[in-house]
Structure 1
Amino acid sequence: MAQKTSRPHAPPTLSVKGRDVRMRTIGILVLIGLAIWFIAANTESVGIRMWVPIVTLPLWAVLTVTLLVGLVIGAVLAHRRAKR
């Protein structure tokens, strides 16, 4: 359960083995675990049309590249927003 701290507007935390862990960190870890499970469960080969040629790759590779590209785009956008 979330514990209140003495700081106003402190992020909600859980105590795990004596350490305070932010709820956001736990949520991110759960999403990472689900992404890894989803990628590992999809092992079929798929054909992808890249304008003209059709490339056949394992679906896990396509999903991994898509995830990495999404993470890079998200990091760039977050960095640009933090600069403002």
Structure 2
Amino acid sequence: MSPKTSESAGASGGTSSGGLLAPGRVSVATLALLALIFVFENTRGTKIRLFIPEVTMPLWMALLGTGVIGGLCGAYAVKRRG
């Protein structure tokens, strides 16, 4: 190992990619916070119709359900790709 490589590895300390305030973690936390705000702002009841039956449920529950379904579809697509 050359001196340059060992100095650059020791200078970073490994905190830039695994730190608490890593850019990926900040963006995921921001998106999660925005999603929670969106859900809690939409708490009134709404009518939902899927084909024939009509149900009334809180809008946050419908949003959560569609989010979970979307996440599962995305995970399936990524798993199938790789």
Where in structure 1 are there 5+ consecutive unaligned residues? 1-5, 8-12
Using structure 2 for the length normalisation, give the TM-score.
0.70
Aligned Cα root-mean-square deviation (Å): 2.2
Where in structure 2 are there 5+ consecutive unaligned residues? 1-7, 10-15
- Which portions of structure 1, spanning 4 or more consecutive aligned residues, are displaced by more than 3 angstroms? none
**After the TM superposition, which residues 48-59 of structure 1 pair with which residues of structure 2 at under 5 Å, given as runs?**
48-59=48-59
Relative to its length, the structure with more helix (as a share) is 2
Contact 1:14 1:20 in 2 (8 A): no
Query: Aligned-pair distance for 1:24?
Result: 2.0
Task: Give the corresponding residue for 2:3.
Answer: none
Using structure 1 for the length normalisation, give the TM-score.
0.69
* Structure number with bigger Rg: 2
Task: Give the corresponding residue for 2:47.
Answer: 47
Task: Give the corresponding residue for 1:76.
Answer: 76
- The residue identity in structure 2 corresponding to 1:23 is P
Identity %: 32
- The residue identity in structure 1 corresponding to 2:30 is V
Q: Helix, strand or coil: the match of 1:68?
A: helix
Relative to its length, the structure with more strand (as a share) is 1
Matching of residue 27 in structure 1 with residue 27 in structure 2: yes
Query: Aligned-pair distance for 1:22?
Result: 3.1
- The residue identity in structure 1 corresponding to 2:65 is V
